[in-house]
Structure 1
Amino acid sequence: MEAPAISAESLAVFEATKGFMPQDEGRVLYEIAYEYLSGGAEGGAAGGNAAAGRPPVGIEIGTYAGRSTVLLGEAARAAGGRIVTVDHHRGSEEHQPGWEYHDAELVDEHTGRIETLGLLRHTLWDAGLDDIVLPLVGSSPAAASVWSTPARFVFIDGGHSEAAAHADFEGWAPWVAIGGALLIHDVFPDPADGGRPPFEIYERALATGQFTEVAVQDSLRVLRRDSGELGAPMPPRGK
């Protein structure tokens, strides 16, 4: 099922929002999200929420100001689904003072830390997505520890440290429904192009035997889940 065109209004909000998702990757992200939320993907995402009379759910790990969230929300609105986006909104390691992606405008005077929740709220308002995108504010491991809902897809684009990336994979990949998709951003096979942890969890997902790569757009990888028990822990690293 072909995704409808992204509205000019949503594209304008996407372009105006702080973040790191290029438009070409963003368009593929939108198309994949629509495909899996609408049930048009091969395999149909068995075990998704729609079977229980609830809207299908996609999960985003790593929200920042909501740039990619706009496109996920637009896809969910078109497909009759919902997006849960998870972030503590204090910034990842690379956003802190002295690091490459630090933005001094985002430092909260009260805490002295990066603060992006307000920006996300503005983004969702401008895109008309308040009822479609549900922010879950907290660390990824803490949120995963209480999560129990199957997802049509999980999009991992959170912290890029080794600990953060592997925690995101371990916490959220188990909730991808069979026939659903695991999407990983910033996957660079060549270390000269970017950090290794997203590539490591991409390789780890393939090594489980539960996932098959079905699409690539620059640093975005899309893996379909073919097997495994919903909610069961992923095999340990190196297994």
Structure 2
Amino acid sequence: MSHVPLPSFDDTWAKAHEVRGWLTREQARLLWDQALAMTAPTAVEIGSHAGRSTLVLGEAARSSGGRVLAIDPFVEGRLFGGAGTKQVFLANMADAGLRDTVELVEDYSSRLRPGWDRHFDYLYIDGKHDYWSVSDDLRWAEMLPAGAPVLVHDSFSSIGVTLGLLRHVLPSRQLRYERRVGSLALFRVARPTPRDRARMLAELPWWLRNVFLKVLLRLRLRPVARLFGHDSPYDPY
């Protein structure tokens, strides 16, 4: 795959921002920077929806001849959008000129993982947020080389995602917690130190705050949520 000139992040975000989704500008920058730190990365993205994050990863990967393997079953339903969302995703990739960089793998990540034999060196997880799905998606990290980034959206915000991280990453000897931007957490395939684990535990008060805010929003107590610094009808992410 030929290399193309690297667009600026601002130009990339201007396009990505027009795609519906929940990734913030600062989180997109983290995805972008981690991809640019690698040469011709092959990124696996679990959960693509309309393609906001896919566009960011695709632009960064394309500049050095990399690829994005976007895994999403596009299940029918109110939360996921099904075939309609799939068509929006494909149109967004075409409009961004990423059809040769982004490959859609239309299936469940849990179904693909046991037989997966394609190399990749970058993992972004933003699939189903229940504990069992996240637990399985984290197993994709076992196929990554040392030093590879693992980014997980809705960390320390979603109950299911956070419980999965506490159960499978906190005691892990293969994944090290580095930092987060909002709810987008960056892990690394590396042996963690006690300090790394302590920094991960230090995020729990922020998680409890977010759970509390979600309860307020479910109770339609948005004015109370504002008192805690959350001025949005959407869950904290």
TM-align CA RMSD: 2.1
**Mean CA deviation greater in 61-70 or 16-25:** 16-25
2:183 matched residue in structure 1: 219
Q: Secondary structure at the match of 1:138?
A: coil
Q: Contact conserved, 2:141 with 2:189, CA < 8 A, in 1?
A: no
TM-score (norm 2): 0.71
Q: Contact conserved, 1:180 with 1:224, CA < 8 A, in 2?
A: yes
* Letter of the structure 1 residue corresponding to residue 101 of structure 2: I
2:25 matched residue in structure 1: 23
2:164 matched residue in structure 1: 201
User: How far is the alpha carbon of 1:59 from its aligned partner?
Assistant: 0.7
The reply on whether 1:177 has 2:145 as its aligned counterpart is: yes
What is the aligned counterpart of 1:129 among 93, 98, 108?
98
Q: Aligned residues: percent identity? A: 28
Q: Deviation string for 1:59-94 (max 9, x for gaps)? A: 100010101100000110123211101000116xxx
Q: Contact conserved, 1:153 with 1:177, CA < 8 A, in 2?
A: no
The reply on whether 1:84 has 2:84 as its aligned counterpart is: no
User: How far is the alpha carbon of 1:222 from its aligned partner?
Assistant: 1.0
Q: Secondary structure at the match of 1:123?
A: helix
Aligned length: 185
Q: Deviation string for 1:12-36 (max 9, x for gaps)? A: 321111111111111111111221x
The gaps in structure 2 that reach 5 residues or longer are: 1-5, 192-237
Cα distance in 2 between the residues matched to 1:184 and 1:33: 14
Q: Contact conserved, 1:90 with 1:116, CA < 8 A, in 2?
A: no
Q: Contact conserved, 1:136 with 1:143, CA < 8 A, in 2?
A: no
The reply on whether 1:66 has 2:35 as its aligned counterpart is: no
Q: Contact conserved, 2:35 with 2:41, CA < 8 A, in 1?
A: no
Cα distance in 2 between the residues matched to 1:34 and 1:161: 30
Q: Contact conserved, 2:13 with 2:28, CA < 8 A, in 1?
A: no
Cα distance in 1 between the residues matched to 2:177 and 2:130: 23
* Letter of the structure 1 residue corresponding to residue 141 of structure 2: A
1:117 matched residue in structure 2: 86
Relative contact order, higher structure (CA 8 A, sep 6+): 1
Q: Contact conserved, 1:180 with 1:225, CA < 8 A, in 2?
A: yes
**Mean CA deviation greater in 10-19 or 177-186:** 10-19
**Whose helix proportion is higher, 1 or 2?**
2
User: How far is the alpha carbon of 1:115 from its aligned partner?
Assistant: 3.8
The gaps in structure 1 that reach 5 residues or longer are: 39-54, 107-112, 189-193, 228-239
TM-score (norm 1): 0.71
Q: Secondary structure at the match of 1:151?
A: coil
1:231 matched residue in structure 2: none
Q: Deviation string for 1:198-234 (max 9, x for gaps)? A: 212333223111111223211111111126xxxxxxx
Cα distance in 1 between the residues matched to 2:108 and 2:10: 32
